[in-house]
Amino acid sequence: MTTTTHLKTTRSEEIFAAAQKLMPGGVNSPVRAFKSVGGQPIVVDRVKDAYMWDVDGNQYIDYIGTWGPAICGHAHPYVIKAIQAAAEKGTSFGAPNYLENVLAEMVIDAVPSVEMVRFVNSGTEACMSVLRLMRAFTGREKIIKFEGCYHGHADMFLVKAGSGVATLGLPDSPGVPKSTTAATLTAPFNDLEAVKALFVENPGDIAGVILEPVVGNAGFIPPDAGFLEGLRELTQEYGALLVFDEVMTGFRIAYGGAQAKFGITPDLTTLGKVIGGGLPVGAYGGRRDIMQMVAPAGPMYQAGTLSGNPLAMTAGIKTLELLQRPGTYDQLERITKTLADGLVQVAQETGHAACGGSISAMFGFFFTAGPVHNYEDAKTCDLQKFGRFHRGMLEHGVYLAPSQFEAGFTSLAHTDEDVDRTLQAACEVMATL
């Protein structure tokens, strides 16, 4: 790989200019447009292992991994071959298939809270369905979410949301009826007292608490010691459900997700990203008595034409099989820690206030002295500086999430050499900021 200092983006520019006339903002998901970091977004031609190539022929080390799914590296031959073989038998049956059992069993074996599971097609769908289930099971309407946490784009969750909403500095979205969000209460992450106060103010009305157990959509924010335990106790005390949104953390920060890593078992869990191995899959699952509410076992309606299709199930199964190999999470942990610690060190050595960290294959880095315990803290970071850093890294062949409010992702394909090269690039770029 050659280090480019003046990126050639002619073809990317042409394609993206045309895209802007065809699709809102030129994209099908907002953060891809690079609005918060400025500059020309890169139009991607292909991906392989830890790398990405754009339509102008530039190569990048990719730390987004299609926003999480590519934990084994892009286009892993073990996964791709299985998808090809599955496609020969048809892409969707709209009827039961055995592969659903296989992936369901793998998820149930891996994730402590999950006794039964329902597959859907995205993390958004998983979260909106789990919310309906929380309400159906408890007969209560209000829910508590945390500022800066993202649970997909369903109406009820677009209140102080993270990810693209935070990145673009959007207010709560127009088009969402007040009546829909009136039942969504919010608290700062890592603030048990605020959660307790909400329970006290709304006696008998709160169906449950939903959170990213490790936040990745307001940047990377781990839970303080005792926070997850405290939520488990509070929800039990008030007869409410605890829901971990592990769409990002599931099979990433440990094979069994954050709940396995921290030893806290929620009542329900949402999954996505990694379990689809790069194809559209989401899932929600949990205690058997709660999941039995879901149609057709019970009265809570939720359905999907393409849900559980054999192509997506295959990609998920093969990805999880790769992750089950010995040493996987040790390798992910080691590589990611070297990278995350290295970025903070390089920043501090070049005179920038910075903080960051990692858990297994998920990391984050802020241009602020920190520490960052919640979204308010995250917002103290220097966004202008990050924009220049992001562009500089791109020019040095490193593709980072185009926002301070997104976590970064590594994969089994990232090598020590990739990390060295990344830190070398960071050193050069930081010195110019």
Ligand X SMILES: *Cc1c(COP(=O)(O)O)cnc(C)c1O
- Cα–Cα distance, 207 to 217 (Å, whole number): 23
User: Where do we find the tokens 């990213």?
Assistant: 212
Q: Does 124 bind ligand X (CB under 6 A)?
A: yes
Q: In sequence order, what DSSP letters do the residues of 288-345 get, joined into one string?
A: HHHHTTBTTTSSB----TTTT-HHHHHHHHHHHHHHTSTTHHHHHHHHHHHHHHHHHH
Q: Please, are residues 422 and 392 in contact by the beta-carbon 8 Å criterion?
A: no
Q: Which of 217, 319, 336, 360 binds ligand X (CB under 6 A)?
A: 217
**Least spacing, CB of residue 36 vs ligand X, in Å:** 17
Residue from 268, 279, 368, 358 nearest 317 by CA: 279
**Least spacing, CB of residue 146 vs ligand X, in Å:** 11
Write the interaction track for ligand X spanning residues 244-283; mark x where CB under 6 A is met and - where it is not: -x-xx-----------------------x---------x-
Cα maximum dimension of the chain: 62
Taking the least distance from each CB to ligand X, the nearer of 211 and 425 is: 211
Binders of ligand X among residues 136 to 175 (CB under 6 A) are 150-152
- Cα–Cα distance, 278 to 110 (Å, whole number): 19
| Residue with the shortest CB distance to ligand X | 123
Q: Does 411 bind ligand X (CB under 6 A)?
A: no
Q: Which of 31, 33, 106, 127 binds ligand X (CB under 6 A)?
A: 127
| List of long-range contacts for 10-13, beta carbons under 8 Å, 24+ apart | 10/56, 11/43, 11/54, 11/55, 11/56, 12/40, 12/41, 12/42, 12/43, 12/54, 12/55, 12/56, 13/40
Write the interaction track for ligand X spanning residues 278-317; mark x where CB under 6 A is met and - where it is not: ----x-----------------------------------
Total residues interacting with ligand X, rule: CB under 6 A? 15
Taking the least distance from each CB to ligand X, the nearer of 163 and 338 is: 163
**Least spacing, CB of residue 126 vs ligand X, in Å:** 7
Q: Which residues have C-beta within 8 Å of that of residue 153, sequence separation ≥ 6?
A: 124
Q: Please, are residues 336 and 329 in contact by the beta-carbon 8 Å criterion?
A: no
Q: Does 318 bind ligand X (CB under 6 A)?
A: no
**Least spacing, CB of residue 254 vs ligand X, in Å:** 16
- Please list the active-site residues: 150, 245, 273
Taking the least distance from each CB to ligand X, the nearer of 170 and 297 is: 170
Residues of this chain that bind ligand X (CB under 6 A): 122-124, 127, 150-152, 212, 216-217, 245, 247-248, 272, 282
